[in-house]
Chains A and B, each alone.
Chain A
């Protein structure tokens, strides 16, 4: 009983403090641990794991800005309705892809390495994923949102490959020959 309350206490502290500069590292540390705990928990069904993990990362990922960056210059030419539809579809795609990767979890360990302030409005957090035969570098890229001075993730770099950059490339190729509506459908 006491243990449960302690855990609850920890969890609430983490979400209360969400994403101010000085506690990016702490918040991410807790979040990574939360996700790993869920993945290791054998009593949860796959669907329960998925919903829990999405909830954990939802408040630090800025899906809205991700979808805008991924479309690049084309974003401005979209109608309001298309923007909403696209953002929604993109968010779904990102989440699906993220959960799909988590399903491959095979006892990897995660180490939070270092926080770097690149610009007043950009921070990167380097982490290391230690797998059975290899280690991978995963970098979370944060930006400071002007409206509320809070930090959100706008991109993730896996072994040097930017996820949003990869989508940008794909979308711009796709839109050379096809329409935005077709793109929304294909997501």
Chain B
């Protein structure tokens, strides 16, 4: 019996080896070529190049269509400066503090805090889904808020996602997305201190959402708001930021490694993400 199993394993392994080899040579002629000497490379390269030319033209069209706009960037030099300022804040302040925070506070509690703060921002998501005519999403959000605020112990837990047999999905929408939904362009790219990449439309969006979010103090709406002054708003935001970073340690550094030049890289990522958020 053991002998038979051994034989079977060997056979399978052999076949597996064959198939992988075949696949790679089909897939990646240039990679294989680089292992052999260079005089071969030139000969083999030509037919492959012609074959992929058709593909390439299609891809060229596909990718240039989706390109984000880079032509107008009047705040370029300010944005660059602010990007490196934010970068230093993240590397020298936010990350070390978040690491210490993660060390002291166990992960389940940090997830709880994250859930709690997210739950409180319910009005922002609810209203913006409504404004975009996404009524099913608004009702999902309302359901989530009711379930998580009660069964989920004031939002510390997220039973709407984790316990329900059919999870109710969250629908993150903000006022910037609402403006985009109705056709407003992004406007110039502006990097904000501490908040990071943004643009004219999204700054308007943030301003609008400040009125809706119970976590930001606005004069005249004190009864609805949790922080009683600007200082407390900043405090809550700082907690939010540290808590969030503590759940995503190392991600910023890893992302940064993909950049040749940090500012245009972050700008492109931000604009691409917003376009896709709005399209959703």
A42 / chain B contacts, CB cutoff of 8 Å: none
Instruction: Report if B247 contacts A (CB, 8 A).
Output: yes
B31 interfacial contact with A, CB 8 Å: yes
Q: A62-B28, A169-B67 are in contact. Are A16 and B272 (CB under 8 A)?
A: no
Quick check: is B134 within 8 A (CB to CB) of the other chain?
no
Chain A at the B interface: SS class: helix
Complex contacts, A150 vs chain B, CB 8 Å: 26
Interface range, B side: 35 or more
User: In the complex, which of the residues B9, B15, B20, B29 contacts A64, with contact meaning CB atoms closer than 8 Å?
Assistant: B29
Which residue on A lies nearest to B108, using beta carbons? A132
- Tell me if A162 is interfacial: C-beta within 8 Å of chain B: yes
User: Given A88-B30, A132-B107, A166-B265, does the pair A65, B59 have CB atoms closer than 8 Å?
Assistant: yes
Known: A12-B12, A147-B51, A164-B63. A84 touches B19 (CB 8 A): no
A69 within 8 Å of B (CB atoms): yes
By beta carbon, the residue of chain B nearest A130 is: B161
For residue A143, which residues in chain B have a CB less than 8 angstroms away from its CB?
Answer: 55, 59
A81 to B42, CA, bound (A): 8
- Min CB–CB distance A59 → chain B (angstroms): 4
Please determine whether B67 and A165 come into contact, CB atoms closer than 8 angstroms.
Answer: yes
Q: Establish whether residues A68 and B268, one from each chain, have CB atoms under 8 Å apart when the complex forms.
A: no
Q: Are B261 and A162 in contact (CB under 8 A)?
A: no
* CB contact between B269 and one of A63, A73, A154, A161 (< 8 Å): that residue: A161
Interface residue stretch chosen among B146-154, B198-206, B250-258: B250-258
- For the residues of B in contact with A, the DSSP-based class is helix
Residues on A with beta carbons closer than 8 Å to the beta carbon of B27: 58-59, 62, 64, 152
Whether A162 and B272, one on each chain, are in contact in the complex, defined by CB atoms closer than 8 angstroms, is: yes
* Nearest B residue (CB) for A73: B60
Number of chain A residues close to chain B: CB under 8 A: 63
Tell me the A residues contacting B by CB distance below 8 Å: 1-2, 4-5, 8-9, 11-12, 15-16, 18-19, 55, 58-59, 62-65, 68-69, 72-73, 75, 80-81, 83-84, 87-88, 91, 97, 100-101, 103-104, 121, 131-133, 143, 145-148, 150, 152, 154, 157, 159-162, 164-166, 168-171, 173-174, 186
Additional A-B contacts beyond A19-B23, A152-B27 (11; CB < 8 A): A4-B9, A59-B27, A64-B28, A65-B52, A65-B56, A72-B60, A91-B31, A121-B58, A148-B26, A157-B276, A162-B63
Sampled A-B contacts (23; CB under 8 Å): A5-B12, A11-B16, A15-B20, A16-B15, A58-B28, A59-B23, A59-B24, A62-B27, A68-B56, A69-B63, A73-B60, A80-B41, A84-B45, A133-B115, A147-B26, A157-B276, A160-B276, A162-B66, A165-B67, A166-B269, A169-B264, A169-B268, A171-B260
